[in-house]
Amino acid sequence: MSITVALYSHDSVGLGHARRNRALAYALAADLPRLTGQRVRGLLIAGHPDATADSLPPGWDWLVLPGFTHTRQGYMSRSLDVSTERLWHLRSATATAALEAMSPDLFIVDRHAFGVDDELLPALETLRAAGTRCVLGMREVLDTPEVAAAEWERIGGASAVAHYYDAVWVYGDRNVYDPVATGEVPAELADRTHFTGYLSHGRPDDLLTESSVRAERPYVLTMVGGGSDGGHIGLAAARAALPTGHRHLILTGPQMPAEDHQSILDAARSSADAQQIKVSRNAPHVPHLVREAAAVVSMGGYNSLAEIMATTTPALIVPRNGRRQEQLRRAQALAAAGAADALHPEKLTPQALSGWLEEAVSRRTARDAVDLDGLMRVGDFAAREITPRPVGADLFTAPVPTLNETRPLPHV
């Protein structure tokens, strides 16, 4: 006997969704055999090929869907020369076929209940009829309550989500930030919403190899997640003065535009500290680099901060300054909890970073007041979900979306 788990992330921008699911995969692979006495296998469905650079537990594998990307004109094919409609059909059919073949006991979807433009609805119908338990996993901050409410409405409201999903897992500490209290998670879903704690302690950390990106200690670290919109932070970091005796490792991310990456390289080479600065696209062992750093500057994405909070490394969060308020609200909440410092993006300058780095490298940051043990609990949460249920049993009787409805493509 074995348990099969499938996880989905749409990954139109960044790698945060896939990295979160990867951390869950390792936690479930470690804990479910102990809790259930059965071996566990799994499939991670992702939407960006860079996701596969990260390893998975034995018996697990990646399925990468042809990618969507977000442009000024909306969501379009990332690489294939096909229409948005044709790509939607390809992704939806591929995901549905894979899930039918795997017949998972548990299906975990990251953030977007129905995927890109409802691409998951055919699969969810099939899984629901087969008795698969379905979980919607949510980061702790979505956006302003008004924006979040509009997004829920666009996918059919809480009733549509409740029809397909047995539970909602919020990957955070409700004492730091409570999206149910703010209204970002609708009240209708409150009775099936469970807070896991931040997915921090126990995140997978790939082994160092001869080709691994390294920095000689002491060093400071700047990282901007996938990098698609982190060029301004990397540039300010490359121009910042370093604390005496320290080196600087700047991770620009695999998705940073080439011109932004080149600007950071040029700034680093022209710096008075040029010999002490290393710029790299990516490193598979970020948790190790964060632990060993004297201080870290980071954007406010969930996964970057989850990795940082598992350490005592002082952190300065410079949140994304764009259409979404998610990173800014997270930065403010974690700063209020004493887990990190925050710098409003409008105040970002090389001088501001220089001053913070000079002070931060002489201290460490205790984060014991924040619940960081979510990965140690998800096995128990999953084991409780994997219970017999009558095939095809309704979870909610309110109207649900139909497969031929057209809805706006989701935000990241």
pLDDT at 187 over 90: yes
Higher pLDDT, 209 or 27: 27
Phi, then psi, of 28 in degrees rounded to 5? -70, -40
Using CA atoms of 108, 112, 116, 118 in order, give the dihedral in degrees to the nearest 10.
Answer: 80
pLDDT at 16: 85
In a domain, residue 393? The reply is no
pLDDT band at 411 (very low <50, low <70, confident <90, very high): very low
pLDDT at 7 over 80: yes
pLDDT band at 14 (very low <50, low <70, confident <90, very high): low
Q: What does the pLDDT look like over 141-175, one tens digit per residue?
A: 999 999 999 999 999 999 999 999 999 999 999 99
45 lies in the same domain as 80: yes
Candidates 152, 38, 159, 165; CA nearest to 410 is 152
142 lies in the same domain as 100: yes
What are the start-end ranges of the E strands in 318-382? 341-342
172 lies in the same domain as 288: no
Distance CA 286, CA 227 (A): 14
pLDDT at 211: 65
pTM surpassing 0.85? yes
Distance CA 374, CA 309 (A): 12
32 lies in the same domain as 142: yes
Prior bond of 218 cis (ω within 30°)? yes
Work out the end-to-end distance of the chain between its first and last CA atoms, rounded to an integer number of angstroms.
37
Q: What does the pLDDT look like over 98-125, one tens digit per residue?
A: 999 999 999 999 999 999 899 999 999 9
In a domain, residue 409? The reply is no
pLDDT band at 54 (very low <50, low <70, confident <90, very high): confident
In a domain, residue 400? The reply is no
pLDDT at 226: 86
pLDDT at 396 over 80: no
In a domain, residue 214? The reply is no
Q: What is the CATH number of the domain that holds 310?
A: 3.40.50.2000
* Mean pLDDT, range 267-283, rounded to an integer: 94
Q: Is residue 228 classed as helix, strand or coil in its secondary structure? A: coil
Distance CA 4, CA 361 (A): 45
In sequence order, the 6+-apart residues with CB closer than 8 A to the CB of 244 are none
Q: What does the pLDDT look like over 21-34, one tens digit per residue?
A: 999 999 999 999 99
259 lies in the same domain as 171: no
* Mean pLDDT, range 331-345, rounded to an integer: 98
pLDDT at 11: 80
pLDDT at 283: 77
In a domain, residue 228? The reply is yes
pLDDT at 402 over 70: no
Q: What does the pLDDT look like over 226-266, one tens digit per residue?
A: 898 999 999 999 999 999 999 999 999 988 999 999 999 99
- Residue reference for tokens 């598979």: 284
42 lies in the same domain as 6: yes
In a domain, residue 206? The reply is no
Computed over every residue of the chain, the mean pLDDT equals 91
* Mean pLDDT, range 370-374, rounded to an integer: 98
Residue 373: how many other CB atoms lie within 10 Å:
16
Domain hosting 169: range is 2-198+373-385
pLDDT band at 1 (very low <50, low <70, confident <90, very high): confident
Distance CA 320, CA 141 (A): 14
pLDDT at 407: 40
Two structure tokens written together for 102: 């795997």
Report which residue type is found at 27. Answer: A
Q: Residue 325 has what DSSP assignment?
A: -
Q: Which residues of 65-91 are buried (b: 16+ CB within 10 A; e: fewer)?
A: bbbbbbeeeebbbbeeeeeeeebbebb
pLDDT band at 315 (very low <50, low <70, confident <90, very high): very high
Q: What does the pLDDT look like over 276-297, one tens digit per residue?
A: 999 999 777 888 999 999 999 9
105 lies in the same domain as 31: yes
In a domain, residue 144? The reply is yes
147 lies in the same domain as 22: yes
In a domain, residue 64? The reply is yes
82 lies in the same domain as 8: yes
For the chain, percent of residues with pLDDT exceeding 90: 78
Among 12-16, 129-133, 263-267, the minimum mean pLDDT is found in 12-16
Specify which residues 251 forms β-bridges with.
Answer: 223, 280
Candidates 184, 34, 8; CA nearest to 96 is 8
Distance CA 181, CA 145 (A): 10
In sequence order, the 6+-apart residues with CB closer than 8 A to the CB of 294 are 217, 218, 219, 220, 243, 246, 313, 314, 360, 361
In sequence order, the 6+-apart residues with CB closer than 8 A to the CB of 76 are 68, 69, 84
194 lies in the same domain as 343: no
180 lies in the same domain as 290: no
* Number of domains making up the chain: 2
pLDDT at 204: 86
pLDDT at 255: 86
Distance CA 209, CA 191 (A): 46
pLDDT at 368 over 50: yes
191 lies in the same domain as 224: no
Two structure tokens written together for 249: 């490792």
